[in-house]
Amino acid sequence: MKRIKITKMQGCGNDFVIIDYDEYEKTAMKMDDLAKKICDRHFGVGADGMIIPNLNGKNADIGWYFYNCDGTTAQMCGNGMRCFAKYVYDNKIIREKSFSVQTLAGIIKPELLDNGLIKVNMGKPILEDKKIPFYGERKIKVLDREFEIFPISMGNPHCVIITDDNPMDLALKYGPEIEKHEYFPEKTNVEFVRVKSDMEIDMRVFERGCGITLACGTGACASSAVCILNNLTEHKVKVNLLGGAVFVEWQGCQANPDQDIFLIGSADYLFFGEYVL
């Protein structure tokens, strides 16, 4: 019987199992298979994703392996990055409070703040259709509705929809259809956003590879950027998610979108334990 040490963490309810690489090696499993097994909420630990530190990250202080609960890889995950940053610092894998992480979306730079929050430089939003990737119109028809959409990437593809309706109702009904729509050849995360004020939005998300989740950091950034670009909010936005709130700061605009976007929020430990394979 094999046992591996695990750590369970969450950021705004987005939960992750973190496993050191030497513990992973004990499993003799492929990472995608392990992710599906360990993230299962009935027969495993239960999580939205699995994270394994990669001490051999190129051109960065550290890297990571990130897998969704269905075994697919994700280019980036903002809530996962905050948990990862806290984990590697607390475990003295990284000694500085500000460092760089190699991801499939490029170099991401988290910083542990003195107030206990984690601020992550999420890089620049990608608006060019081919780089998202997105091939289609700015209106999309699914089931019985047509929506105006805003395709954008935070290293992973997003489809943002501004609405006056209940965002959760829309995410539940239309999220699965839009996620796999032909306009998005790599599928997409889907965010339904209701603007509450010029400094606050509500967002519900259907995540690519996960379904409805309590939070999505890259989705919060994508949604805030769309709101800022359309002059719906100021440059610092409180994003209310199903599992809590995060703050997004971005100084970009239509004339100058080439600016880094910052995600600020908490990360918390849930438990430490052993998983029996």
Residue positions annotated with a catalytic role = 77, 216
Residue 132's Cα: distance from chain center in Å? 15
Residue among 9, 28, 26, 25 at smallest CA distance from 17: 9
**DSSP-based three-state secondary structure for 258:** coil
Location of structure tokens 């997003």: 158
Q: Residues 6 or more apart from 17 whose CB is under 8 A from it?
A: 6, 7, 8, 38, 39, 45, 47, 49, 50, 51, 275
Element (H, E) at 6: strand 3-11
| 115 CB neighbour count, 10 Å cutoff | 8
Pairing relationship of beta strands 189-197 and 157-162 according to DSSP bridges: parallel
Concatenating the DSSP letter of every residue in 93-152 gives SS-SSB--EEETTEEEEEEE-TTS-EEEE----B--GGGTT--S-SEEEETTEEEE-EEE
Residue type, 195: V
- Residue 6 CA neighbour count, 13 Å, CB half: 29
**How far apart are alpha carbons 229 and 221 in whole angstroms?**
12
